[in-house]
Amino acid sequence: MRENIKLSRRGFIKATGAACTAVLMAGALPGFLKPVMAAEEQIDIKDALKKLFGDKKIETGHVDLDVPIIAENGAVVPVTVTSDLPMAAGDYVKNIYVFSEGNLNPFVAKVGLTSANGKAEIATRIKMRKTSNVRAVVETSKGNLYQNMKEVKVTVGGCGG
């Protein structure tokens, strides 16, 4: 004989939640939940640069980096990158990269340019987790790399709260 079981909405949600928890705790779905702490691992700036540029030498010069000395709010730090390198058809600034070395992942932005841009310049706002160097790397169409970096002191806000 079959009985009709009536569950309230709340009872159904509780029973479903308990069943899902039991399945996950028993390991029936491996890899379903990923540890939260894995996202909190710091990536070293050297590793980030090597991943993007390999073993290419990054020279200093030809890059002007305008950032505040003190950022009152780390969530919106203004950054302007300009370069005096030519923007001719066969020789131009191809990419501008921005890094914030104190962030968990220091790679912040990549902007692609062409000779039609006329001038190698970008302006943006970045999020900084803590006081650290902001680094700009300029890549030319011929594969040359140039950089500049400046320290920015973050007082409040940022990625870390």
Amino acid, res. 160: G
Residues 25-70 pLDDT 10s? 666 555 555 444 455 688 999 999 999 999 999 999 999 999 999 9
In a domain, 26, yes or no: no
pLDDT at 17: 77
Residues 135-145 pLDDT 10s? 999 999 999 99
Domain range enclosing 59 = 40-154
In a domain, 33, yes or no: no
In a domain, 25, yes or no: no
What residues contact 133, with CB distance under 8 A and at least 6 apart?
Answer: 100, 101, 102, 149, 150, 151, 152
| Helix/strand/coil for 100 | strand
- Phi and psi at residue 102, in whole multiples of 5°? -90, -5
Domain count, the chain: 1
The pTM for the full model equals 0.73
Residue from 127, 135, 129, 136 nearest 151 by CA:
135
In a domain, 75, yes or no: yes
Mean pLDDT (the chain) is 86
In a domain, 5, yes or no: no
What residues contact 59, with CB distance under 8 A and at least 6 apart?
Answer: 144, 145, 146, 147
Residues 78-92 pLDDT 10s? 999 999 999 999 999
In a domain, 99, yes or no: yes
Residues 97-110 pLDDT 10s? 999 999 999 999 99
Residue from 24, 17, 20, 21 nearest 9 by CA:
17
Residue 74 belongs to a domain with what CATH number?
2.60.40.2470
